């Protein structure tokens, strides 16, 4: 069988100048604003996780799949986009093993929302909550994020082969013990 794969994802969004824009992180609508600027709901957590999954499966990146040139993505719920990526990853012959996400923000305080974020991500990823880690940090005032100008998300994903097929390629078949390569 194909080997497990690891992918990394990064997303950064500035805070929006629109006072009515809601702040959404990992599908949680935070009461503290302002929201983040972006074409979709600008959920940096969901975006970073989606990019990590796409990278691990060698399926491109979030921008190439749901770019700003696509009007149907305007204002989209990023957990819905993440669920679409999970379906693409499954079609490619993988399932999510686990996710490790770090949100970097000087504001607002995020720790009280950790459990809700993990639950939302687990639902979209079709995994147990225990397979989703969400952590928070600041940059101690360094850089744009440290100055409170936006929020960043960094994610690592582990994909486990399911024995399915890769789009445009041959079926993924189990290997004989001791045989290297695919």
Other Cβ atoms closer than 10 A to 30: 18
pTM, two decimal places: 0.87
**Residue 73, pLDDT score:** 66
**Residue 145, pLDDT score:** 93
pLDDT in tens, the chain (182 residues): 679 999 999 999 999 999 889 999 999 999 877 899 998 899 999 999 999 999 999 999 988 887 666 667 677 889 999 999 999 999 999 999 999 999 999 999 999 999 999 999 999 999 999 999 999 999 998 999 999 999 999 999 999 999 765 544 434 333 344 444 33
**Residue 104, pLDDT score:** 97
**Residue 68, pLDDT score:** 67
**Residue 52, pLDDT score:** 98
**Residue 64, pLDDT score:** 84
Walk me through the domains of the chain, giving residue ranges and CATH numbers.
5-161 (3.30.1330.50)
Q: In this structure, what token pair is assigned to residue 20?
A: 């009515």
Q: Which of 169, 172, 98, 92 is nearest to 128 (CA)?
A: 98
Task: End-to-end CA distance of the chain: give it in Å, rounded.
Answer: 8
**Residue 66, pLDDT score:** 79
- What is the C-alpha separation between 163 and 148, in angstroms, rounded? 45
What Cα–Cα distance (Å) separates residue 126 from each residue in 68, 120, 134?
27, 10, 16
**Residue 163, pLDDT score:** 75
**Residue 143, pLDDT score:** 93
Q: Is 181 exposed, middle or buried (0-12, 13-18, 19+ CB in 10 A)?
A: exposed
**Residue 10, pLDDT score:** 97
């Amino acid at each position: 069988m194909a080997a497990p794969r690891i992918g990394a994802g990064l997303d950064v969004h500035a805070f929006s100048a629109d006072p009515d824009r809601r702040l959404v992180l990992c599908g949680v609508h935070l009461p503290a604003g302002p929201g983040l600027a972006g074409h979709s709901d600008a959920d940096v957590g969901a975006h970073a996780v989606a990019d990590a999954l796409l990278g691990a499966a060698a399926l491109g990146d979030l921008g190439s799949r749901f770019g700003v040139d696509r009007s149907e993505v305007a204002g989209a719920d990023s957990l819905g986009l993440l669920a679409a990526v999970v379906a693409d990853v499954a079609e490619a012959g993988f399932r999510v093993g686990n996710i490790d996400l770090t949100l970097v923000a000087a504001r607002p305080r995020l720790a009280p929302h950790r459990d809700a974020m993990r639950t939302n991500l687990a639902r979209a990823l079709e995994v147990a909550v225990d397979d989703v880690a969400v952590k928070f940090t600041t940059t101690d005032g360094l850089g744009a994020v440290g100055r409170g100008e936006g929020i960043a998300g960094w994610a690592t994903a582990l994909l486990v082969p399911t024995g399915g097929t890769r789009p445009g390629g041959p079926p993924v078949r189990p290997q004989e013990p001791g045989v290297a390569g695919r």
